[in-house]
Amino acid sequence: MGLLDGKKALIFGVANDKSIAWVTAEILAAEGAEVALTYAGDAFESRVEPLAKQTGAKIVLPCDVTKDSEIKKVFQTVQEEWGGLDMLIHSVAFAKKEELKNDFISTSREGFNIALEVSAYSLIAIAREALPLMEGRGDASITTLTYLGAQRVVKNYNVMGVAKAALEASVKYLAYDMGRYGIRVNALSAGPLRTLAAMGIPGFRDILNVVQRMAPLKRNINADDVAKSALYLASPLSSGVTGETLYVDSGFHAIGIVEK
């Protein structure tokens, strides 16, 4: 018997076999959940379709989260195929490359709007469509992915830090709104990982080195660390947890000034 037998899970943001969204899909499926996957656009289709076969996912759809029509199409398909939804994983973020190279004060209006829309507002838009499918299911859950740059300055993270701060605030407000319907909303603040998105941040390898040196566990995390915590937040094991940001970063977030 799996922890999630009979449950339905929708995962937004699968990019390739290294993405947090994919590793989370694997672990949810291994625990008995039936999974559905979305990806950002045609460029990712050839990468995601073979992965979907590994989990037996029958629902595999493109979704540009800046387009309400595409979000609605995903949930219409889920309703037609499943009739309801128990778990939703939101692993979606984007900022223009140039916004991560210059000083934060140079952030353009367009770059700011794009980062906030894709990385933060998309959670609200998706949660709104998920509500009628999750209401009355018992212990339904929504989990999003964030990063320490929402709370502290991380070099070159820039507008993404502001977007993640908005995302974390959105988690709290959504948890309040959706709690009355039996839906929990939480965030996972994952440490740096060698994902496709992270490698676009200038100086990313330096960030990995600092975390490995300073974190209490003296190591960087891996995607499995994050996926196992996502399983916890999605499952009945966290039935009393909502509005929370759970750090999965080898304890790095807890460190201030320390002596050797």
Active site residues: 147, 157
Smallest Cα–Cα separation from 25: which of 79, 91, 120, 118? Answer: 91
CB atoms within 10 A of CB 189: 22
Angle between helices 122-134 and 159-179 (to 10 degrees): 20
Per the CB < 8 A criterion, the answer to whether 4 and 235 are in contact is yes
Residue with the two structure tokens 């070159």: 156
Burial (0-12, 13-18, 19+ Cβ within 10 Å), 218? exposed
Interatomic CA distance for residues 35 and 180, integer angstroms? 25
